[in-house]
Amino acid sequence: MLETVYWDAGTARLLPRLLKGRTRGPVFVTHRRPGPGKVVSPRDVCPDTGLARLSYGQARALLDEHTAVRGPGTGWDLHEYRHSGLTELGVRGASLLMLMAKSRHKKPENVRRYFKPSHESISELTSLLAPGDARR
């Protein structure tokens, strides 16, 4: 089943560099075609270039390699993007149902572990209860 992915304007500016003229197929591809013995789904191969979709493991290794400051294993983690993205959406007022739709979680308790508001956000929320607050 194909799923829709929603991009914002910042991501859209990166797409021409990622796509390099491609108009269909996977967004993130490897630098080479799959080997002759490798069985790959047609959905995982760019029909224009024959390049295969970048696996999660390959993406994780590349991100770590390019963001590591103290050697391998010290760089960013792909899963951190999920945490920070959902937290930012929650802080900006997205409902639990919208967070579930965005993250494709079926249970609210699974989304809650990703939503970690900052101390500043909690403090700001608490200030809504302050006497004399003009926002009430």
| Residue 75, pLDDT score | 81
The pLDDT of residue 1 is above 60: no
Q: How far apart are CA 123 and CA 34, in angstroms?
A: 52
Mean pLDDT confidence for 42-47: 87
Q: Is the pLDDT of residue 61 over 80?
A: yes
Averaged pLDDT for residues 66-95: 80
Q: Given this model, what pLDDT does residue 107 score?
A: 93
Is 6's pLDDT higher than 80?
A: no
Handedness of CA 78, 31, 21, 47 (dihedral sign): negative
Give the model's pLDDT for residue 134. 55
Say whether 67 sits in a helix, a strand or coil: helix
Task: Evaluate if residue 91 carries a pLDDT over 90.
Answer: no
Q: What is the mean pLDDT of residues 89-98?
A: 87
Residue 102: what are its φ and ψ, rounded to 5°? -65, -45
